[in-house]
């Protein structure tokens, strides 16, 4: 048991599911985010009446200091936070910060993250530094070939910081699209599949990984997750877990991490990127694993024993509910369909506004076999492709 209070920077769906998990163990949570009633702040804490959340930005130094004064352990549900202030509060106040601010600082800059992984011998595909000039992108194209993936180093999510440069005539448009953020370029990776592994690391540095899953993206946004990954090569899942564990072992601090990877046709695995927090590819663990990614994150940062990461069902999938328009009712047919499917659980995130491309919820489906899983998923995918029926 613990009587520590946890502060979370960020109050979206990941904070919501973390707070929901905390409430099962009487763990109080204080959320820092803009808005009074975002997804995470809607979850009642055991002592909710005496514990007000904080309205403000998770990048605001004053607000982070205020949060640090009110809690025992600080954690994040988003990596785009102010790592300098986290370092300062860890030094001058008796608050623990997990994962370590140094880890967040490296990961939040994708170029530094890739350099870190390369320096530790982790498998990453080629990338180069670029300036925001057409000439610099031309140089990058000479080294990496075309197409290349131009990426914003910071503040990226759901592919919104990426631009595929297929021809050098697009270089100017790519720079304009990505705005004045610092950039870098990655070699185009013609992957066979995208896979991911959640890894939890405790305060003594022990790491444990969840099964490798397949992630399917649509327009750069995660659409579906299949657990476990189905692979023709039986060595792929354990190799993916070993690569993910080795990568997370190179970082400091405790918590759950999402490791996104590219699986090539010849079996080579490259790390795409790491998230220092719960991850969309780990939502399935709530219904499908012995211990969810959220519970294991809390156990890790509170120095409690880590829970088993094993699957407790033979087959599972997670389908994201992504806004089709400003009208949430466009998603009602898939939600209604899920209520009729055994093994399906609907999660809605309580967002006040629906927008096209915004993650509004997800559905997890568990099954006794891959065949049963396909059968259970079919009506959901049908409802998504014809929402007006
Ligand atoms: P997330 O929402 O996962 O944080 P992000 O905005 O950080 O996404 P990335 O993960 O870098 O973006 O890229 C989004 C998707 O774009 C990847 O999942 C993959 O499908 C594709 N992609 C990214 N990098 C490359 C690459 N170098 N070559 C080919 N495809 C890529
Ligand atoms: Mg990302
Ligand atoms: Mg990604």
> Is the reported ipTM for this assembly greater than 0.85?
yes
Which residue of 149, 164, 191 sits with most ligand 1 atoms within 8 Å of its CB, as the best mutation to test the pocket? Answer: 149
Q: Report the percent of the chain where pLDDT is more than 70.
A: 98
Q: Report the percent of the chain where pLDDT is more than 90.
A: 93
Predicted confidence (pLDDT) at residue 387 exceeds the cutoff of 80: no
Q: Give the pLDDT of residue 106.
A: 98
Whose structure tokens read 């994201």? 320
More confident residue, 250 or 52: 250
Q: Give the pLDDT of residue 385.
A: 87
3-state secondary structure of 361: strand
Predicted confidence (pLDDT) at residue 141 exceeds the cutoff of 80: yes
Predicted confidence (pLDDT) at residue 38 exceeds the cutoff of 70: yes
Predicted confidence (pLDDT) at residue 40 exceeds the cutoff of 70: yes
Alpha-carbon separation of residue 137 from 126, 178, 186, 189, 356 (angstroms):
15, 13, 11, 17, 31
Is 126's C-beta closer than 6 angstroms to any atom of ligand 1? no
In this structure, what are the phi and psi dihedrals at residue 271, rounded to the nearest 5 degrees? -80, 130
Is 157's C-beta closer than 6 angstroms to any atom of ligand 1? yes
Helix 293-301 vs helix 13-24: crossing angle, to nearest 10: 70
The per-residue pLDDT for range 3-21, each reduced to its tens digit, is 999 999 999 999 999 999 9
Ligand 3 center from residue 273 Cα (angstroms): 6
Is 77's C-beta closer than 6 angstroms to any atom of ligand 1? no
Whose structure tokens read 């489906």? 365
- Name which residue sits closest to atom 16 of ligand 1, judged by CA: 220
Strand boundaries in 175-314, DSSP class E: 183-187, 193-201, 207-209, 213-218, 221-227, 255-263, 269-275
Q: Is the CA virtual torsion 155, 160, 162, 167 positive or negative?
A: negative
Is 273's C-beta closer than 6 angstroms to any atom of ligand 1? yes
**Residue burial 80-98, b: 16+ Cβ < 10 Å; e: rest:** bbbbebbbbbbeeeebbbb
Indicate which atom in ligand 1 lies nearest the CA of residue 187: 27
Predicted confidence (pLDDT) at residue 44 exceeds the cutoff of 90: no
The per-residue pLDDT for range 155-205, each reduced to its tens digit, is 999 999 999 999 999 999 999 999 889 999 999 999 999 999 999 999 999
Q: Give the pLDDT of residue 74.
A: 98
Predicted confidence (pLDDT) at residue 389 exceeds the cutoff of 90: no
**Pairing status of strand 221-227 against strand 213-218:** antiparallel
Indicate which atom in ligand 1 lies nearest the CA of residue 190: 29
**Pairing status of strand 148-152 against strand 162-165:** antiparallel
Is 33's C-beta closer than 6 angstroms to any atom of ligand 1? no
Q: Is the CA virtual torsion 261, 365, 357, 18 positive or negative?
A: negative
Ligand 1 center from residue 196 Cα (angstroms): 12
Predicted confidence (pLDDT) at residue 49 exceeds the cutoff of 70: no
Is 223's C-beta closer than 6 angstroms to any atom of ligand 1? no
101, 87 contact by CB (below 8 A)? yes
pLDDT band at 325 (very low <50, low <70, confident <90, very high): very high
Q: What is the DSSP string of 100-129?
A: -HHHHHHHHSHHHHHHHHHHTT-----EEE
In this structure, what are the phi and psi dihedrals at residue 345, rounded to the nearest 5 degrees? -125, 130
Residue 217: CB partners within 8 Å, gap ≥ 6?
159, 194, 223
Is 186's C-beta closer than 6 angstroms to any atom of ligand 1? yes
Predicted confidence (pLDDT) at residue 318 exceeds the cutoff of 60: yes
Is 174's C-beta closer than 6 angstroms to any atom of ligand 1? no
Phi-psi region of 251 (alpha: psi -120 to 50; beta: other; left: phi over 0): beta
pLDDT band at 344 (very low <50, low <70, confident <90, very high): very high
Q: Where are the alpha helices (DSSP H) in the chain?
A: 13-24, 61-70, 83-92, 101-108, 110-119, 134-144, 171-178, 236-249, 285-288, 293-301, 332-339, 370-385
Ligand 3 center from residue 274 Cα (angstroms): 8
332, 313 contact by CB (below 8 A)? no
Ligand 1 center from residue 161 Cα (angstroms): 9
The per-residue pLDDT for range 87-111, each reduced to its tens digit, is 999 998 789 999 999 999 999 999 9
The per-residue pLDDT for range 274-303, each reduced to its tens digit, is 999 999 999 999 999 999 999 999 999 999
Is 161's C-beta closer than 6 angstroms to any atom of ligand 1? yes
- Name which residue sits closest to atom 30 of ligand 1, judged by CA: 189
Is 290's C-beta closer than 6 angstroms to any atom of ligand 1? no
Predicted confidence (pLDDT) at residue 51 exceeds the cutoff of 90: no
pLDDT band at 50 (very low <50, low <70, confident <90, very high): low
Ligand 3 center from residue 260 Cα (angstroms): 6
Ligand 1 center from residue 277 Cα (angstroms): 17
- Name which residue sits closest to atom 4 of ligand 1, judged by CA: 157
Is 217's C-beta closer than 6 angstroms to any atom of ligand 1? yes
The per-residue pLDDT for range 252-280, each reduced to its tens digit, is 999 999 999 999 999 999 999 999 999 99
Is 109's C-beta closer than 6 angstroms to any atom of ligand 1? no
Is 276's C-beta closer than 6 angstroms to any atom of ligand 1? no
Q: Give the pLDDT of residue 126.
A: 98
Question: How large is the average pLDDT for residues 215-241?
Answer: 95
pTM of model > 0.95: yes
State the DSSP code for 313: S
Q: What is the DSSP string of 152-171?
A: ESSS--TTTTEEEE-SGGGH
pLDDT band at 388 (very low <50, low <70, confident <90, very high): low
Question: How large is the average pLDDT for residues 45-66?
Answer: 86
Dihedral through CA 76, CA 77, CA 81, CA 85, nearest 10? -10
Q: What is the mean pLDDT of the chain?
A: 96
């Amino acid at each position: 048991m613990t009587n520590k209070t946890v502060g979370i920077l960020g109050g979206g769906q990941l904070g919501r599911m973390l707070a929901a998990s905390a409430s099962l163990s009487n763990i109080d949570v204080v959320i820092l985010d803009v808005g009074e009633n975002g997804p995470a702040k809607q979850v009642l804490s055991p002592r909710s009446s005496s514990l007000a959340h904080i309205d403000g930005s998770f990048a605001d130094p004053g607000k982070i200091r205020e949060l640090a004064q009110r809690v025992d352990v600080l954690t994040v549900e988003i990596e785009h936070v102010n790592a300098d202030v986290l370092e300062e509060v860890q030094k001058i106040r008796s608050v623990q910060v997990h994962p370590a601010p140094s880890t967040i600082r490296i990961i939040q800059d994708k170029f530094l993250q890739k350099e870190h992984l390369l320096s530790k011998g982790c498998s990453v595909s080629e990338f180069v530094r670029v300036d925001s000039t057409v000439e610099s992108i031309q140089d990058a194209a000479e080294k990496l070939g075309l197409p290349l993936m131009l990426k914003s180093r910071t503040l990226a999510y759901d592919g919104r910081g990426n631009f595929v440069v297929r021809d050098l005539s697009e270089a100017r448009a790519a720079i304009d699209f990505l705005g004045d953020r610092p950039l870098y370029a990655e070699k185009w990776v013609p992957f066979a599949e995208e896979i991911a592994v959640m890894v939890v690391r405790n305060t003594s540095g022990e790491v444990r990984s969840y099964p490798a899953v397949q992630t399917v993206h649509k327009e750069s946004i995660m659409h579906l997750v299949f657990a476990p990954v189905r692979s023709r090569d039986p060595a792929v899942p354990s190799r993916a877990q070993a690569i993910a564990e080795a990568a997370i072992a190179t970082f400091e601090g405790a918590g759950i991490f999402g490791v996104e990877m590219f699986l090539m046709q010849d079996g080579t695995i490259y790390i795409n990127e790491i998230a220092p927090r719960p991850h969309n590819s780990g939502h399935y663990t709530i219904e499908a694993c012995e211990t969810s990614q959220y519970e294991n994150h809390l156990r890790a940062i509170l120095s409690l024993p880590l829970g088993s990461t094993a699957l407790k069902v033979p087959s599972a999938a997670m389908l994201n509910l992504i806004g089709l328009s400003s009208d949430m009712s466009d998603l009602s047919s898939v939600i209604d369909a899920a209520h009729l499917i055994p093994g399906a659980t609907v999660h809605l995130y309580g967002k006040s506004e629906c927008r096209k491309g915004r993650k509004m919820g997800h559905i997890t489906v568990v099954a006794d076999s891959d065949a049963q899983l396909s059968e259970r998923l079919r009506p959901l995918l049908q409802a998504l492709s014809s929402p007006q029926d």
